[in-house]
Structure 1
Amino acid sequence: MNYNTVEEGKTIAIVSYLTIFGSVIAIVMNNDKKNTFASFHIRQALGIILLFFALGYPIGYFDSWMVSSAFYLFFFILWIYGFIGAVQGQMYLLPVLGPFFQKIFKGL
């Protein structure tokens, strides 16, 4: 991947990590001119956010603060990992879940 592709897609990639609304805005921004760097980070961010919402509700039923704290910490670390990769212009796959997100959201 060349330097121009990364620089053109960096803003979109960073926006994609800012809540579910940021991901939707990034998808719309990247819709006209598909940037591979931005698409990569959109898929990663959307995967983190949707999985967080899908698992967050059932995890909330646990009475243990340790379980819910571990859940929030895990997703915060994944989010930081992806966000830092977008800021630095790197395409780091998220540990364990990254290839899965790339496969599921390959149309974005």
Structure 2
Amino acid sequence: MMKMKSKLAAGLLGIFLGDFGIHKFYLGRTKTGLLYLAFCWTAIPAIIGFIEGVSYLLMSEENFQAKHGRRV
């Protein structure tokens, strides 16, 4: 069984809070979120987070859930 994650929430978190890795924490990728948080003082996580957020929003719901849905 898959636990549904919101594509809209992940996308918006990536766009607006991607420099802190909040979208990665939301998706259950804690280690990657910590890496974003460690480098939040640079512009790199913000740029990557913005790109990831837009890509989440443009991705089909089925592909998003297949890639980021969590098995329970």
Q: TM-score range by the shorter chain?
A: 0.3 to 0.5
Larger Rg computed on CA atoms: 1
Q: What is the TM-score with the length of structure 2 in the denominator?
A: 0.40
Q: What is the TM-score with the length of structure 1 in the denominator?
A: 0.31
Relative contact order, higher structure (CA 8 A, sep 6+): 2
